[in-house]
Chain A
């Protein structure tokens, strides 16, 4: 251990490097200046991406974390810099994304005095973080960073905030790296009850119509192979939650599609037909369950989750299996009998056929009229051979992208599920390109969402971020418009939107761009986008009043989906 004294800021840099950080998304400001000054000496090892707004930094960190499985880091100043990250922190909390947000804070002597750019960040973020801590002394930096990284990545991952008082940034300390791999009050992988395993095995062996829900927990636990081993041995058809979509290849014969309000007909209807429902790393969100009073009442429910507070939160569970599913799934696989459920699985086909005829064929293969959103998604997906990373914004673009994009590889989807944060896409896609630089990143967004964080085109320009931006422009806040059409008598209250000329916007940022209006031009434009090195903005003028279907309207049962509206 060196006796050399270094500043708290330098200790932060060394701690970040020690914990494997290579990329930081940030924005400087008064109360974080000593840290940015220390960063200046570490630019060889720490790549700092200057965003255009702190919300962009935190969404970029989320995108980075979601595709790489590593922790996304952002660095911002106090006061407004810190509060601008709040949306992304809340988003990371509900979507279990491991990020560490380091924010400047006024010096400890000024805390509580309403000093310039002082805000009670710990107080604000406690309900939306796994852990939020104020560093007031330089000697606490190494410990706090170690604890932050351990908490963010372990167990059910999530966001951690470090509120770094300015005095602690400049005061000096002796530095030694710290590791944290145990917190006595926190059990990241709760023990599994062997009786629950035995009971689950009995239910699965006796099941005639088992059905499995794949959640993001499978991706977070890196248990994609363990899941496949399990479902293939027991021959169990699956539905994927929005965030679980790329945990199982789309074309796997047991993958019956997406769950939820705009998911596929088969998995939603069959949820209310199965006799055993196995939920893996998912939280029974209301967008998945529809009306709880009628949700899977006929089934015995087995719930595998790492977070004990998820058990029984929304849906009553007969057999809870606590722990990381990477560890618990093989316990089941080993003990269950090999089975075939051919007739039950064939039962999905009629729903697939109905959905194809009534919805998919019309959306993806229209013969005339304006371009459809699903058609564009399908064409981009084909052109990228199902190997790209999909990033979406929120709304119709998100539902269409998630319905019609197919996945071969794991960790291939970045979308704001629980929070539904418009403006998420552009910065998250920027982050995804840094998290997975070897892969193509396709970012689907609407005209509303793009404009919420459009300033990040500056980041794309400066970093030459190789992101393929696909703007599905319908001149509406489309999802709200669809609801207004369906539930509010077509009273389009503030959903039509006057748009700027996106070709000029792209030109101003020196981003190659192309606008497509005619169906005949779509394929060539996609080819041009994918062949262009670096960023590209493809604006597709799509049908203005297109609807996402099928749909389980709010308050309806999961098996009660509308195929037209």
Chain B
């Protein structure tokens, strides 16, 4: 079996209802698990950005991305390996305040991971960490070993490419320029 890589797929689309379904359906058809998914408004008005991660092979990822881009309202889709992007995730750890405070080790763990405490009340506290996937897992394991975790949640990955231009802006400008030329 071919070795699988964790790819990050960045998709820009129009903000139309039902598009997320169309994008995820491309994965479903090929029985590919989406590892994480983040959808939000992009810097361009009316354009949404999806950041999707998925373990697969170079051959499959190329076909998947082309099939996503084929959807009428998808503007662009690209895939990246980890060395081609800056990427972050955010996680929140809800811990029991009495148990947290009773453990001297706890504050050292927080400092060592450069995490933040964003809420403290007599019942629970919330620790927040922004970082790479394995850093977030590592903090979870440390806090878990202190037996104080009540809830844990982590976001999907968000990423920006390391290239110095915004591909989508350029693409849209180019499309409109070509249209004007063909119709003038």
Contact = CB atoms under 8 A, between A and B. Distances in A.
A184 B175 contact: yes
A151 B71 CA distance: 11
Interface string A307-321: 111011100000000
A186 B14 CA distance: 11
Interface stretch (A119-127, A285-293, A442-450): A119-127
Nearest to A127: B25
Nearest to B64: A309
Contact of B62 (A182, A187, A312): A312
A185 interface: yes
Contact of A184 (B25, B66, B67, B75): B75
A184 B70 contact: no
Interface in B15-59: 18, 21-22, 25, 29
Nearest to B14: A185
Nearest to B46: A184
Interface string A298-338: 00000000011101110000000000000000000000000
A126 B175 contact: no
Interface in B126-175: 172, 175
A312 B72 CA distance: 21
Given A126-B21, A127-B25, A308-B69, A185 B63 contact: no
A191 B14 CA distance: 22
Nearest to B59: A312
A126 B18 contact: yes
A: interface residue count bin: 20 to 34
A183 interface: yes
A127 B176 contact: no
B105 interface: no
Of B22, B72, B175, B176, the most chain A CB neighbours within 10 A belong to B72
B105 to A, nearest CB: 51
Interface residues of B, number: 23
A184 B72 contact: no
By DSSP majority rule, is chain B's interface helix, strand, loop, or mixed? helix
Contact of B63 (A131, A132, A313): A313
A130 interface: yes
B72 A185 contact: yes
B22 to A, nearest CB: 5
Contacts, number: 47
A151 B25 contact: no
B13 interface: yes
Interface in A157-190: 181-187
A131 B18 contact: no
A185 B75 contact: yes
Contacts of A127: 22, 25, 29
Contacts of A130: 72
A308 B29 contact: no
Nearest to B73: A185
Contacts of A186: 72-73
B22 A126 contact: yes
Nearest to B173: A184
A123 B75 CA distance: 21
Contacts of A131: 72-73
B94 to A, nearest CB: 34
A132 B178 CA distance: 27
Nearest to A122: B18
A187 B72 contact: no
A182 B179 contact: yes
Contacts of A184: 75, 172, 175-176
A196 B75 CA distance: 24
Contacts of B95: none
B2 to A, nearest CB: 15
B31 to A, nearest CB: 14
Nearest to B13: A185
A47 B74 CA distance: 36
B163 to A, nearest CB: 20
A249 to B, nearest CB: 33
A184 B176 CA distance: 7
A123 B21 contact: yes
A137 to B, nearest CB: 14
23 contacts: A123-B21, A126-B21, A127-B22, A127-B25, A127-B29, A132-B18, A183-B72, A183-B73, A184-B75, A184-B172, A184-B175, A185-B13, A185-B14, A185-B72, A191-B178, A307-B70, A309-B63, A309-B66, A309-B69, A309-B70, A312-B62, A313-B63, A313-B66
- Which 4 pairs from chain A and chain B are nearest by CB? A309-B66, A185-B75, A309-B70, A186-B72
Given A308-B69, A309-B66, 13 more contacts: A122-B18, A123-B21, A126-B21, A127-B29, A131-B72, A132-B18, A183-B73, A184-B172, A184-B176, A186-B73, A187-B175, A312-B63, A313-B66
